Structure 1
Amino acid sequence: MCGRFALSATPQEVQALFGYADTPNFPPRYNIAPTQPVATVRQAHGARRFVLVRWGLVPGWVKDPASFSLLINARAETAAEKPSFRAAVRHRRCLIPASGFYEWHRPDTGPKQPYWIRPKDGGIVAFAGLWEEWCDPDGGEIETGAILTVEANATVSPVHNRMPAVIAPEDFDAWLDVQNTPLKEARALLRPAPESLFETLPVSTRVNSAREDAPELLDPVAVENALDRNGDTAETVSPAPRKVRARAAKGMRSDDEQFDLF
């Protein structure tokens, strides 16, 4: 499951990793939430393209998107069999650039604690994604997307039991090439990331609000009884947050248990 993520890399850094010819300009975003635009990379006519889509997939056969459940995630294990995702798994796969993602740990008692889960060595990762195009009767079009999730690895599982499927750079071509990569081979790429890839850091509950979008959301905080990096509890972890420099202002259930915002 993934309900929030961030992309703080520069447009040049993203373009260098994903190798598309476009030169889009976009700002850093620290708290990307469902229904907001998300960056995706797809293959079309033999080349990679950068495309913004709305986060929350709407299949083409839906008559009224307003009455359709918001599908932000698709379980990798079952997506190919689900009516909402099976066409996209076969024909409309994409990559979703990210600097990391948030998850909320549910303790036995007390409030949920958000964690920022990022590559240990920094940089960008590519989530496995799906996209769809929906057309209304008046001719309007909207492109939407979802993130594929897998069982969490040993690093992430103490925080949450699901995580985004991460596609390694050497597998970008295979994942994106829906014409030449058989479905069985594409599905084999959907597996938990190596345990050494990510680290988990407790962060401020400011991230709970989708209105918040500032670099300080990524700052680790001191939390009593937080999870340490081995999944055990510790009295405090990580340094106290830096002084806040600025504030940027900017539930729902789905079929097949594909949606869980927190």
Structure 2
Amino acid sequence: MCGRYSLNKSKIQLEERFQAEMLADFKPRFNISPTQLVPVITSDSPKGFSFFYWGITPGFAKNKPVSQKFINAKAETVNEKISFKQSFNTRRCLVPADGFFEWKKLGKKTKIPYRFTMADEQAFSFAGIWEEFEDEFGESNHTFLILTTSPNPLVSEVHDRMPVILKKEDEKKWLDKYSTEEELLKMLKTFPGDEMLSYTVSPLVNSVHNDNPAIIRKTSPMDQFGNYTLFG
């Protein structure tokens, strides 16, 4: 599962990295959460950042409330599930990020938040799919979800799933409407752990209301209540 991520890069940095135009008033994000409006790059508009809601409602389940939306889909079955197959075939997107968070369980009540980034701390992209659907008020919305896969050795110490991180050279192919299903599925592999790093962060990340640089700073291991622990 991927339930939180960060995008601590400037407008200029993102435009240079992805060769796409960003809104002038974009500000870095440190604790992106489901249901929020965030930047993606779609196969329909690869030269500009679009802003979609994180959390997707399948085409067959219109007018479902936010609490029943999906935020992730398993890469292993995304081309087979009726709820995701059409989006996988025709509506793919890049989800720009510079890190993501997972929580390590230590016993029944203790969880330690970790942040995972590239070893060079540069921006990267998750593989995503998107959809347009009609909400309970009859208005059209654009939403997306992030594909997940089995974890590499680094992430597996914390969680049993991780987001699909695309190689930079695969990003254009992921957006290409003419890529074959076989080509697309080959991209949905586990990103190498030796090209990443991880560290513990503050339990401030637990609250969706916190979105500031303190979220991504390296801290001593603390559980979800802010208590220091000897376990990392």
Fold-level match, TM-score > 0.5?
yes
How many matched pairs? 227
CA contact 2:43–2:91 (8 Å) conserved in 1? no
Q: Distance in 2 between matches of 1:138 and 1:206?
A: 34
Query: In structure 2, do the counterparts of structure 1 residues 188 and 235 end up closer, same or farther at CA, with 3 Å as the change threshold?
Result: same
3-state secondary structure, aligned to 2:155: coil
* CA distances 1:48-96 after superposition (whole Å, capped 9, x unpaired): 3311100001123323222772200000001111122111110000000
- Within-5 A mapping of 1:154-169: 154-169=153-168
Which amino acid counterpart does residue 5 of structure 2 have in structure 1? Answer: F
The share of aligned pairs that are identical, in percent, is 35
Q: Distance in 1 between matches of 2:99 and 2:133?
A: 28
Residue from 200, 206, 210 that aligns with 1:212: 210
Runs of 4+, deviation exceeding 3 Å: 21-25, 136-139, 234-237
3-state secondary structure, aligned to 2:68: coil
Structure 2 segments unaligned to the other structure (5+ residues): 224-228
CA RMSD of aligned residues (A): 2.2
Q: CA deviation at 1:149?
A: 0.5
CA contact 1:39–1:96 (8 Å) conserved in 2? yes
CA contact 1:60–1:135 (8 Å) conserved in 2? no
CA contact 1:36–1:55 (8 Å) conserved in 2? yes
- Structure 1 counterpart of 2:226: none
- Structure 1 counterpart of 2:181: 183
* CA distances 1:124-149 after superposition (whole Å, capped 9, x unpaired): 01000010001359762100000000
- Structure 2 counterpart of 1:222: 220
Q: CA deviation at 1:204?
A: 1.0
Query: In structure 2, do the counterparts of structure 1 residues 211 and 194 end up closer, same or farther at CA, with 3 Å as the change threshold?
Result: same
Instruction: Tell me, yes or no, if structure 1 residue 203 matches structure 2 residue 201.
Output: yes
Q: TM-score normalized by structure 1? A: 0.80
* CA distances 1:164-223 after superposition (whole Å, capped 9, x unpaired): 101111111110012x10011101101111122221111111111111111011111112
- Structure 2 counterpart of 1:106: 105
Q: Distance in 2 between matches of 1:220 and 1:27?
A: 21
Q: Distance in 2 between matches of 1:219 and 1:188?
A: 34
Query: In structure 2, do the counterparts of structure 1 residues 137 and 6 end up closer, same or farther at CA, with 3 Å as the change threshold?
Result: closer
Query: In structure 2, do the counterparts of structure 1 residues 139 and 188 end up closer, same or farther at CA, with 3 Å as the change threshold?
Result: same
Q: Distance in 2 between matches of 1:111 and 1:137?
A: 38
3-state secondary structure, aligned to 2:173: helix
3-state secondary structure, aligned to 2:194: coil
- Structure 1 counterpart of 2:84: 85
CA contact 2:78–2:85 (8 Å) conserved in 1? yes
Q: CA deviation at 1:110?
A: 4.6
Query: In structure 2, do the counterparts of structure 1 residues 142 and 59 end up closer, same or farther at CA, with 3 Å as the change threshold?
Result: same
Q: Distance in 2 between matches of 1:177 and 1:24?
A: 27
Query: In structure 2, do the counterparts of structure 1 residues 93 and 206 end up closer, same or farther at CA, with 3 Å as the change threshold?
Result: same
- Structure 1 counterpart of 2:17: 17
Q: TM-score normalized by structure 2? A: 0.90
Which amino acid counterpart does residue 210 of structure 1 have in structure 2? Answer: V
Query: In structure 2, do the counterparts of structure 1 residues 93 and 159 end up closer, same or farther at CA, with 3 Å as the change threshold?
Result: same
CA contact 1:15–1:23 (8 Å) conserved in 2? no
Instruction: Tell me, yes or no, if structure 1 residue 28 matches structure 2 residue 59.
Output: no
- Structure 2 counterpart of 1:253: none
Q: Distance in 1 between matches of 2:63 and 2:135?
A: 8
CA contact 2:118–2:197 (8 Å) conserved in 1? yes
- Structure 1 counterpart of 2:40: 40
Query: In structure 2, do the counterparts of structure 1 residues 21 and 218 end up closer, same or farther at CA, with 3 Å as the change threshold?
Result: closer
Instruction: Tell me, yes or no, if structure 1 residue 133 matches structure 2 residue 132.
Output: yes
